């Protein structure tokens, strides 16, 4: 008899919160940002962490820098582990600016990507064009993740504009709407120049949003992840997580780290 096959942690040790669900998840999703992982690093990441990754973003425009065969292999690995994978939204913004949107979607489809991000963090995107990009993604059979917010240092959130954007994006078929925080998490969106959350803005946003489970918060810093997990619950959707921080975040979600540890009543 193979004794090792019966070696499992007690459920209360595996997830003291009792709230963590398995994939496919409708909440508590984690988006990892990949800024240039090699194939071996990708394989190592998936070997340990695939159950905890819902979405993998090939950050910025880095998808253009890979040898095609290598990029296709990375995409295949993600798909094998039920992880949605997409190029960064900035890359689509480049395509819009260069008037090569058709060619962009052709390559996304041929490479095997399963998702796309529609954003306007760097360029101005009118509502009609945004709707059209969402539609094209959906017609290509892709999950569409949209993003609200500018990447410019010091940019903040207009709560009324955010609500309008979320409602229309979801109406047109977006799976989730991401709140911009860049990879730094400082001086953008709900985070101030020190990376601290602007409490009043967060409260206003949460009061307005009809379905918080359809929002993904970019939170690259540990302190931001802890804050949002405590403020919004362990099933909050979080993004722009560095690969090496993934295990850390998963322990925070489950109460397996002192920052989110809760003693039983």
How far is it, in rounded angstroms, from Cα 14 to Cα 16? 6
Structure token digits, residue 83: 């992880």
Q: What is the pLDDT of residue 157?
A: 82
Residue 191 lies inside a defined structural domain of this protein: yes
Of 48, 56, 59, which Cα lies nearest the Cα of 251? 48
pLDDT in tens, 147-179: 998 777 767 788 889 999 999 999 999 999 999
Residues of the chain by 3-state class (helix, strand, coil), percent to 5: 45, 15, 40
Cis peptide before 41 (omega within 30 of 0): no
Residue 9 lies inside a defined structural domain of this protein: no
How far is it, in rounded angstroms, from Cα 51 to Cα 146? 24
Residue 6 lies inside a defined structural domain of this protein: no
CATH of the domain at 119: 3.20.20.70
Residue 129 lies inside a defined structural domain of this protein: yes
> Predicted confidence band at 262 (pLDDT cuts at 50, 70, 90)?
confident
Q: Could you tell me the sign of the dihedral formed by the alpha carbons of 265, 9, 46, 174, in that order? A: negative
> Predicted confidence band at 53 (pLDDT cuts at 50, 70, 90)?
very high
Helix, strand, or coil here: 29?
coil
Q: Do residues 181 and 191 lie in contact, with contact meaning Cβ atoms separated by under 8 Å? A: yes
pLDDT in tens, 126-150: 999 999 999 999 999 999 999 998 7
What is the secondary structure of 184-219 as a DSSP string? Answer: T-SSBTTB-TTS-B-HHHHHHHHHH-S-GGGEEEE-
- Please indicate, yes or no, whether the overall pTM of this predicted structure exceeds 0.75: yes
| Average pLDDT in the chain | 93
Taken as a whole, the chain contains a residue count of: 265
Residue 115 lies inside a defined structural domain of this protein: yes
> What whole-number percentage of the chain has pLDDT above 70?
97
Encode 138-147: b = buried (16+ Cβ within 10 Å), e = exposed.
beeebbbbbb
- Which helix (DSSP H) or strand (DSSP E) does residue 234 occupy? none
Residue 264 lies inside a defined structural domain of this protein: no
Report in angstroms the alpha-carbon separations of 194 from 65, 191, 221: 32, 8, 11
How far is it, in rounded angstroms, from Cα 231 to Cα 159? 18
How far is it, in rounded angstroms, from Cα 265 to Cα 245? 30
Residue 58 lies inside a defined structural domain of this protein: yes
- Under DSSP, the state recorded for 82 is T
Q: What is the CA radius of gyration of the chain?
A: 19
Q: What is the pLDDT of residue 5?
A: 62
Domains in the chain, number: 1
pLDDT in tens, 80-94: 999 999 999 999 999
Q: Do residues 187 and 230 lie in contact, with contact meaning Cβ atoms separated by under 8 Å? A: no
- The residue segments making up the domain with residue 238 are 21-254
Q: Could you tell me the sign of the dihedral formed by the alpha carbons of 207, 213, 219, 221, in that order? A: positive
Residue 194 lies inside a defined structural domain of this protein: yes
């Amino acid at each position: 008899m193979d004794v090792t096959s019966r070696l499992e942690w007690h459920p209360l040790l595996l997830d003291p919160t009792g709230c963590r669900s398995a994939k496919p998840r409708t909440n508590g999703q984690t988006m990892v940002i990949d800024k240039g992982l090699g194939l071996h690093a990708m394989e190592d990441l998936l070997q340990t962490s695939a159950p905890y990754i819902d979405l993998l973003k090939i950050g910025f425009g880095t998808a253009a820098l890979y040898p095609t065969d290598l990029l296709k292999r990375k995409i295949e690995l993600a798909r094998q582990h039920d992880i949605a994978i997409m190029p960064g939204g900035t890359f689509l913004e480049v395509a819009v600016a260069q008037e090569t949107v058709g060619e962009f979607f052709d390559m996304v489809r041929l490479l095997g990507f399963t998702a796309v991000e529609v954003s306007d963090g760097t360029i101005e995107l009118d509502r009609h064009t945004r709707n059209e990009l969402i539609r094209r993604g959906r017609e290509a059979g892709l999950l569409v993740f949209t993003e609200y917010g500018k990447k410019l240092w010091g940019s903040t959130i207009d709560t009324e504009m955010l609500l309008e954007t979320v409602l229309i994006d979801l109406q047109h078929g977006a799976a989730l709407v991401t709140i911009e925080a860049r990879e730094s998490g400082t001086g953008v969106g709900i985070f101030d120049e020190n990376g601290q959350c602007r409490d009043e803005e967060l409260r206003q946003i949460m009061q307005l949003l009809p379905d918080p489970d359809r929002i993904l918060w970019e939170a690259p810093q540990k302190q931001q992840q802890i804050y949002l997990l405590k403020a919004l619950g362990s099933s909050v959707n979080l993004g722009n997580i560095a690969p090496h921080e993934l295990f850390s975040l998963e322990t925070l979600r489950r109460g397996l780290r002192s920052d989110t540890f809760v003693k039983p009543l």
